[in-house]
A and B are shown apart, each in its own frame.
Chain A
């Protein structure tokens, strides 16, 4: 019979690496697959090999020892392995143009988060990309835009990008901050949480101060759109007092926070929950990562977006509980080993309400301008989709059947939530009650030949 792994972990970011470190340490055969060619995920992207490792602050530098520990922990790592189907005891992935089928007693999905796609007119133009995409280029290839850059959005990653641009002498035309000014009032109700992570909080304040000091910041920018110009790109926006302004740029970086990438967990038909503050769907899992499907767990940002420190602790807890379930640890030993990780999570949880309120997405940003292309693959504008919705489409799958958003190569990863937000707004529905696009295998375009060539389970016996 073919090998049955004790644990297969999908995703070698902070959470997945820490799960593997625990399960391998306690003697469980562990396979880790990741579609990137190196472990690290996005936050520690290329940390094991990047020449930028000492130049982007201590948060990123912390990735290097973790990646080293992971690569030496005894788990088998399969890089460049893109998972296209999943069940509680099995994983299908494509690697170098060939598909493989692997089985396990426990499967952990640690696939992380993505930048929230917020459609606006002109965001499909070359030269416009996610701020996180620029961060990936910086970490993995040492590349930064030549500028001038316009940074636009809301969230700690906007501030981080603004600081990096300053440190590496990239001209920035302006930083358009789209968060609501009133958010601070709501956030202050949770100010006591700051005491749980003072160092982390001060790091954030420091980034904000540097951004304000070194960059031209526009607070409360709205009605943002991008057009082509002779010089490259032109960004149009309205100020808080309603004045319309223009900026030249060669690169525009957009960022409206981070949301779990739930396509793989919806494919597995896991139970999800809606986060009303940060407005995203996430997997409903307990602190040991147990989801609604026995044998299938989640770890890290896929369950709740709390960043790298929490993801590492969560990943470790998931690993420890798998060791208990598979008989490698007694309940008492699991609890004893879990203590330091539970403390970290408690501290992260204490500060999270403050961060979630302060960086809450701006409702107006989530209702795209009629000219904005919502479904990039099928080139469908918000104006067109809005008509379809108002004519009587009440669910994302309904709009999909009617007008094809989500039918292209990205399979709704980019437009899914934007379409749902439009439906909720048009018909006065709550997002919580809107079923998301149904996810089907394969999770990404796959050559039919690959399926034909793949050894079937019976041949593997």
Chain B
């Protein structure tokens, strides 16, 4: 669990993590925004292990999530936007799903 030590800017957006609304500060990355709601795990490995962001700077790829229907998005490099739908990416990415989204 994480705590906010900075003062709120008062500017927030609502995103949805696994369908549930989460209010976060504008400009936050998705990886930071879902730290607590996700209990620290944002994907499962192909062997089913729970994993969460390790580096927060775009290197480790542990934060890959499904953002607005697009899988394999680096949550630590993606900034929140109003109404954004964020889901865990479980197991092996579903490439057929991606085809449908971009068909």
Residues of A with Cβ closer than 8 Å to B? 35-37, 42, 49-52, 55, 80, 82, 97, 114-115, 117, 124-130, 132-134, 136-138, 140-146, 168, 170, 250, 261, 376-377, 379, 408-410, 413-414, 444-445, 447, 449
**Chain B residues near A52 (CB-CB < 8 A):** 5-6
What is the interface of chain A mostly: helix, strand, loop, or mixed? loop
Interface residues of B, count at CB 8 A = 42
Q: List 6 A-B contacts (CB under 8 A).
A: A37-B77, A52-B5, A129-B56, A143-B3, A144-B2, A376-B62
The yes or no answer to B64 lying at the interface (CB within 8 A) is yes
Nearest-neighbour CB distance to chain A for B12, whole angstroms, equals 12
A51 contacts B7, CB within 8 Å? Answer: yes
Q: Does B39 contact A (CB under 8 A)?
A: yes
Known: A37-B79, A141-B28, A379-B49. Contact between A146 and B58, CB under 8 A? no
CB atoms of A143 and B32 under 8 A apart: yes
| Chain B residues at the A interface, C-beta cutoff of 8 Å | 1-7, 9, 25, 27-29, 32, 35, 39-41, 45-47, 49-62, 64, 70, 72, 74, 77, 79, 98, 102
On whether the beta carbons of A42 and B54 are closer than 8 Å, the reply is no
Q: How far is B52's CA from A138's CA once the two chains are assembled, in angstroms?
A: 17
B29 contacts across to A, CB distance below 8 A = 140-141
Contact (Cβ within 8 A) A142 B6: yes
Cβ distance A307 to chain B, nearest Cβ, rounded Å:
16
A379 and B52 contacting across the interface, CB-CB below 8 Å: no
Interface core residue of A134, A141, A379 (most chain B CB under 10 Å): A141
Q: B98 to A447, Cβ gap below 8 A?
A: yes
Q: Are B53 and A133 in contact (CB under 8 A)?
A: yes
Among residues of B, the one whose C-beta sits closest to the C-beta of A96 is: B78
Specify the chain A residue showing the minimal Cβ separation from B26: A49
User: Which residue on chain B has the smallest CB distance to residue A138?
Assistant: B5
Q: Report the separation of the CA atoms of residues A35 and B7 in the bound assembly, to the nearest whole angstrom.
A: 26
**Residue from the list B4, B40, B49, B57 in contact with A142, Cβ < 8 A:** B4
